[in-house]
Structure 1
């Protein structure tokens, strides 16, 4: 998994490249000198029965047709729209084409031009016809013009149900058509490639953190990619060219799944169930409705079903914003960031939604507003989820660490030390060497707390833990065994001279000045040390546990006795020898051979 900073830089650069690419695409697409919008040159007539043929329409009186005064939408239902395009003479050295945009909103498109010997030549397209059977397979209906040396009138029959129809026809030369195809394929391909990359990263995060929010994110991004593939016509051209039924149904199905999965995603990230069970169940039911409603919509295929679809999409936008802001007000930190992350798509969604409802005519913005918004939204949401998961993971790690670490100093607790001490003694006996055990006490802690206060006393303990940790290796263990005492387990092999140097280093380290302690306060350590294990054989695990505890108890007794020797700070206990009771005059605490070794450091 790449570091967080590297992931952030990668996503930021990719978003910037996508934005520049879309700007270049829009500029390149509009820069074609031979591209002409001929929609406003058309005259139209709506056939209420939808059964009139080309011969009947061509022979109808001219007064029956109305001029196309502007880009508009037609709610046809079972009717059909006939358009007569009066085209001027064009350069016969080039081949010319007529393109009809918005393939997702045209069930049938039939293009008629007169034959030289009489009759009509028909070319067919539309999303109710498999793209592989179109006269010219493309992402949108494209029709070839045969004779352009003289002005001619061509006819276009269109129908679409239940969504309104907003025809926009463009006259293109072969070079301009190829340029338009290349730019569209390039930019949609970059978008899909980036979306698949983000999809993979989301799945990796889901496996890494085990967070259901990433699963919802993966589903949401998958539906977003499916919707864009279907809505732009790329799916019918490349992914399902032989599936006419799915080519017609895919935009509506993916739109509903996208909306439903988006509400589920918001529900998971904002943790609605944590704050209100009823609202959580409502959000879940709303998501399930989006998952199941395509069955009813495709069965009915009428104006009421389309109205429910559009209303569901609009209300889902408002619901997602409301849930995010409500959860943010409840204290969910990342819910507010989620509202901002969804903003690019929420700003772009009204354009295709109003286009589908027949309020806005077809346009470049209506086709690509959501695509551009999602290209910005998808990486933003992943970044927000990444930071959220990282934050929660750190909190869980801290909670788990409380079970095995000291809350004040962050050192391991006594049960962990005893376990590691038993393992160290077992390894030392197996390989024939000795490990070392030191018990260190912050002897002036009571004085620091009395002079400087409880807060300074706690800081002194934290500083002592930090300094003891720095003087040993990573494989060694430092543990706070009592309020002011620390045990250090030094893994073997160890020798007495090494142990003496380490003890002197610990005492000297405590005397260094520290900025977190006021005045000239320093840490004064006194310690006892010994080499383990004893020479006798230990067979049972219980005996190893008893030996480890006996070693710690012996060290505590020795450190208690060392407190009565104010001139000494270090006592190296001889291996296998009990503590000398002569130091304290208390019988029963050791033999007569336990004396401070030469080289003890005076306090």
Structure 2
């Protein structure tokens, strides 16, 4: 929290920066979506023109699949999902007439949901050509490394081509696109542009979050950084970009990364909600439950990697769905208990909460693979993460301002905002010590608002307190920046004038104070002026140690004696010259 006194980020500049980058990323996403849609539309979706057969044993070879009766292959009349587990899916693709002057490719979407794909086609010499891809192979070993399995069609391919697909424990929803070389490159470029822009923007927001964590010392920003980092890892794994650029040679990680990052993302999101909504302040049992829920998501990848069956995959999906409901419920619950930023966090999470069902239903086999199931969470998180950062920034800034006010109460007067007497004593000791060392003078002045009692009796205490605030403002205005103005009694103020002080400095300051008090103030009743009476003294006196309280008592006695002479408002007490001492 000490850093927050030294550095502060302008609220407007942060908002403008986040808004600018969010608008740029949203424009990039819309442009990329349109470009990808155009690129895919220029290709041919051959999914519904195929026939399939499920090999329940998972051991059939290409010759055995080709030898199966024609009735065993069912037409793919609609987009559908297959729960294969240890079975294999054979797909026969009857290719349409292709332009021999162009190179053609068959692309299989949904990189995160295909363990192994074998492609078989006959070459010009009539021999079968096999190509391999899938998460169980390093991307660097794919026949054509890409974010999704892509297979080159041999020139003058005769007859149908065959695909053998395996995937567990998630459902498999194949979508086949027939693309020429230019269309494939355009699709790849638009996708890399979208995901690259998203990752760059995410890293920028992650940097801003870490700066705020160092600035405010708030654990909510640390949880936010973990959440954003897990989100970036999940999107890199889910879209297949991570396998192309970051872990090309790690097949096991390419297969497990989407599930692991999803669990870590959910666990860090719940931890972030706990910290930002201060759940521990409202209910200890709920807080312990939330901690246990986050730890479960952090440790469950171990069991997922060891078992890899339908049961653990069901637990993974249920954990993600229930976490969405839990995070929203915690935000609304704490908001109703007085955490006003809990409601804002619920709105901040809304883009991801609304986009989460698309990939979740795709993984469960309810929805077929599409552009929306692949990139919905990416676009939703691109809107969410800057919103959450700005909400956290407002929250931390407000808390920091409250703490600063509490710290200021310890050294300032609550009514006038001036320093308190102990601070004046310390500064006076230091000023006298410097004056003796360098052989110059400083000054001390005691000022009284003479008509304060009359204002209380005529206008009431509220107007009298307002008059004290105005008096403190006037005294601070005429004093220099290096001087200290302090309220030492109900209607008395002390002014320490730092040296070197000109010979007529006290006289000029006294005249300014008296004149300022006679000016009319709009915040006070008409005709009401502030009448000041003051006593001043040059310091240091002699060579002994300065006793602050006796010095103020001497000035106060002189001010009390002036009460018998109403026409006298300024008194300068004589001071003995300072004796310079060697440095």
Task: Specify the TM-score bucket, using the shorter chain as the normaliser.
Answer: over 0.9
Q: Corresponding residue for 2:62?
A: 54
CA distance, structure 2, for counterparts of residue 381 and residue 348 of structure 1:
16
Query: 1:130-176 deviations in whole A, cap 9, x for unaligned?
Result: 0000000111101001125x764111111100000000111111111
Pick from 302, 307, 324: which aligns with 2:309?
302
Report how far residue 319 of structure 1 moved.
0.3
- By how many angstroms is 1:515 displaced? 1.3
The residue that corresponds to 1:428 in the other structure is: 435
Q: Matches of 1:289 and 1:426 in 2, distance apart?
A: 63
Q: State the partner residue of 1:253.
A: 260
Instruction: Give the match for residue 92 of structure 1.
Output: 100
Alignment equivalent of 1:15, drawn from 3, 22, 26: 22
Alignment of 1:279-290 (within 5 A): 279-290=286-297
- Give the Cα–Cα distance (whole angstroms) in 1 for the partners of residues 459 and 266 of structure 2: 62
Whole-angstrom distance in 2 between the partners of 1:90 and 1:80: 29
Equivalent residue for 1:419? 426
Question: Could you report, residue by residue, the CA deviation over 1:476-497 in whole angstroms, capped at 9, with x for unpaired residues?
Answer: 1000000000001111111331
Q: Which has the higher contact order (CA 8 A, sep 6+)?
A: 2
Aligned match of 1:407:
414
Superposed, which structure 2 residues align to 1:18-417 within 5 Å?
Answer: 18-32=25-39, 34-148=42-156, 152-417=159-424
Partner of 2:580: none
Partner of 2:419, secondary structure, is coil
More divergent stretch after superposition (499-508 vs 33-42):
33-42
Partners of 2:486 and 2:435 in 1: CA distance: 20
How far is the alpha carbon of 1:572 from its aligned partner? 1.3
Q: Give per-residue Cα distances to partners, 1:559-582, cap 9 Å, x unaligned.
A: 1111211001111111149xxxxx
Are 1:425 and 1:532, in contact at CA under 8 Å, matched by a contact in 2?
Answer: yes
Instruction: Tell me the distance in 2 between the aligned counterparts of 1:58 and 1:564.
Output: 121
Q: How does 1:384-533 map to 2 (within 5 A)?
A: 384-533=391-540
Contact 2:122 2:158 in 1 (8 A): no
Cα separation, 2, equivalents of 1:164 and 1:549: 84
What runs of 5+ residues in structure 2 fail to find an aligned partner? 1-7, 578-583
**Matches of 1:327 and 1:133, distance apart in 2:** 51
2:570 corresponds to = 570
CA contact (8 A) 1:125 1:131 kept: yes
Shift of 1:128: 0.7
d(CA) in 2 for partners of 1:208, 1:473:
32
Contact 1:89 1:151 (C-alpha < 8 Å) held by counterparts = no
Q: Which whole-Å CA distance do the structure 2 matches of 1:170 and 1:408 have between them?
A: 74
Look up the SS of the partner of 1:167 in the other structure: coil
Distance verdict in 2 for CA 1:69–1:88, change over 3 Å: same
Secondary structure at the aligned position of 1:568 is classed as coil
Give the equivalent residue in structure 2 for 1:537: 543
In 1, Cα distance between equivalents of 2:508 and 2:179: 88
Structure 1, 517-526 or 433-442: larger mean CA deviation: 517-526
CA distance in 2, matches of 1:241, 1:289: 29
Deviation at 1:117, TM superposition (A): 3.0
- Flag structure 1 segments of 5+ consecutive residues without an equivalent: 578-603
Over the aligned positions, Cα root-mean-square deviation in angstroms equals 1.2
Q: TM-score, normalised by structure 2?
A: 0.96
Q: Could you say what secondary structure the match of 2:106 adopts?
A: strand
Pairing of 1:587-598 with structure 2 (within 5 A) = none
Whether the aligned pair in 2 keeps the contact of 1:36 and 1:171 (CA below 8 Å) is: yes
Alignment size in residue pairs: 569
- Distance apart, 1:61 and its partner CA: 2.2
